[in-house]
Structure 1
Amino acid sequence: MSSNAAPWLYLASQSPRRRQLLDQLGVSHRLLLPDAHEDAEGLEAVLPNECPEDYVQRVTLAKWEAAKQRLRRRREVVGHDWDVGPILCADTTVAIDNDILGKPADDADAASMLSRLSGRAHRVLTAVVVEGALRLSTSHVRWRTLSADEIERYVASGEPMGKAGAYAIQGRSGAWTERIDGSYSGIMGLPLFETAELLKPLGWHF
């Protein structure tokens, strides 16, 4: 970026919530989404005996490295449309004890995850990387006990699909949340404090 230009970045994420949170900070951004041939989901595979904290940081760094290569390829093909700029990547996972709850494979998997989270505390971990610098946000969430009918209706709504831990804190599951200790924006997918701290050295002022 030119020192005289307004700061902006590439967001290498398909999450509309991360776009909304960057807008909330006033951070201008362009999407840098995976190409059709990229195995974006493959980067999220869990390694044997990997703890949730190590997992979410490793995956986020892997996504950032993939985004760097993606930008390099696009600049080689249509360079005038893809300026040099910082890249932001993030990844969120839900953990209960030391088990990682990723995105549910189907309705039954979503219902199983929600049953495990019912009436218990769990951790939500979101890692953010900007230009190789990483920050990790850890939040603790406690739900009230859910009935089988509540779980069934929530799964039927479709909201759990594509969400780590099979829920979205900003959605209907917010009615079950008794307590949060940590970052609400981090639970949504982009912790604003950690993100702002990473961006300040690159020219942003908050």
Structure 2
Amino acid sequence: MSKVAVEEKGSKVIVEYMIQQNRPYSATDVYTNLHQEFGKTLVVKCLDSGVQSGQLKEKVIGKQKIYFANQDNFPKADEEALRNLDRLVVEQAEQLKAEQAELKNIDYHLKTLTSAQTTAQLKAKVTQLENEISELEARLNALKGTTKQVTPGDKKKAIESRDVCVSEWRKRKRMANEMINGILENCPKKKKDLLEEMGVETDEDHQVVIPN
């Protein structure tokens, strides 16, 4: 294809593209949008030619030149047509909002269904629970069948032993707190940091409480 033919084709394609898009573009935008079908120099030349023919207009913004379709060549829209377009935009926006809400609702139900257990999974769970119930019942029956009885004396000894342990627990905890508080009086560290550094674990760390 000759150079003249290429320029003629480029001028036609580029001007028609600008009119069809009806948006402002720089020469680089047009060059990129047309997938570099024409050289950038030719693109600039065709855009300038379109301006000279009155099909396009240009505007310099800073150091960049912007080209766009000559709006004088487009038919004028009457007021009624513009109002109809405005109503159509509002209707389309409302419809879009409704469809988005419906899509959100469908998506929620889909996630609920996909996260639900299948029939096979539920049957397996039932079998597992039945086996656990059988094991617990066997243990219960074994405990019910035992003949060993706790005598009042054994019960009293157990209570006394418990009371001694609890008393010692309170005593040692009080002594430990007094010692730690004494260290803290001359230590810039917080109590929590000091305990961590010393490797001391408290009842609160293990969520245990001294019995009454």
State TM-score, norm by structure 2: 0.15
Structure having the higher Rg: 2
Which has the larger strand fraction? 1
Specify which structure has the bigger relative contact order, considering alpha-carbon pairs within 8 angstroms and separated by 6 or more residues.
1
State TM-score, norm by structure 1: 0.15
